[in-house]
Amino acid sequence: MISKKMITAINAQINKEFYSEYLYLSMQAWFADQNLEGMAKWMDAQGKEERLHVMKFFNYLIDRGAKVKLTAIDAPPVDFDNPLKVFNMALDHEKLITKSIDELMDLAIKDKDHATRSFLQWFVDEQVEEEASMDRIVNMLKMVGGDGQGIMMIDRELGQRIFGVVNEA
């Protein structure tokens, strides 16, 4: 039996995952505006992944016979300073999402809700990857500093990302 508290918490998580999609879309738009097409493409794939996360939670609630309640999504920032700051912000955001998933897991354990625990395990594992891939990009950007050629090289590499392929940068 899924608790009311858990249903409320998963609905709140749906909103956070939508916000993640919004945030990465906004970053995509900024990169496109800077003519950093590879980074824009990377953010496009990231935003699409976030929609998959939304739908996993959405479908889980439906499967458990619970009500999905969609709420207003906050506006993400529109202007960013430079690629390093963008990816740092994305990394910080993923850390918040990890914390939020951990709190859901804590609740599932407290509720002895084994089905939700099992469902959430995928997200626990996914967050390790989400943080690692952002962290890797942050480190690459730190290494090149503001060097234009280095940024262009990273842009080319990130442009290789194909939506739906796991373990990519």
Binding map of ligand OFO across residues 97-126, x = CB under 6 A, - = no contact:
x-----------------------------
Cβ 44 to ligand OFO, closest distance in Å?
14
Cβ 67 to ligand OFO, closest distance in Å?
22
Determine contact, residues 131/142, Cβ cutoff 8 Å.
no
- The angle, 0 to 180 degrees and rounded to 10, between the axes of the packed helices 83-111 and 37-63 is 10
DSSP letters, 118-130, are HHHHHHHHHHHHH
- The two structure tokens encoding residue 89: 């912000």
Pick the closest to residue 104 from 23, 14, 21 (CA basis).
14
Binding map of ligand OFO across residues 54-93, x = CB under 6 A, - = no contact:
----------------------------------------
Closer residue to ligand OFO (CB): 44 or 50: 50
Which one among 2, 17, 39, 57 touches ligand OFO, defined by CB under 6 A?
17
In whole angstroms, give the CA distance from residue 151 to residue 153. Answer: 5
Cβ 59 to ligand OFO, closest distance in Å?
15
In whole angstroms, give the CA distance from residue 101 to residue 95. Answer: 10
Cβ 123 to ligand OFO, closest distance in Å?
8
User: Should residue 44 be labelled a site residue for ligand OFO when binding is judged by CB under 6 A?
Assistant: no
Question: Mind spelling out the 3-state secondary structure of 64-108?
Answer: CCCCCCCCCCCCCCCCCCCHHHHHHHHHHHHHHHHHHHHHHHHHH
Which one among 44, 113, 130, 155 touches ligand OFO, defined by CB under 6 A?
130
Q: Summarize as ranges the residues that interact with ligand OFO (CB under 6 A).
A: 17, 20, 50, 53, 94, 97, 130
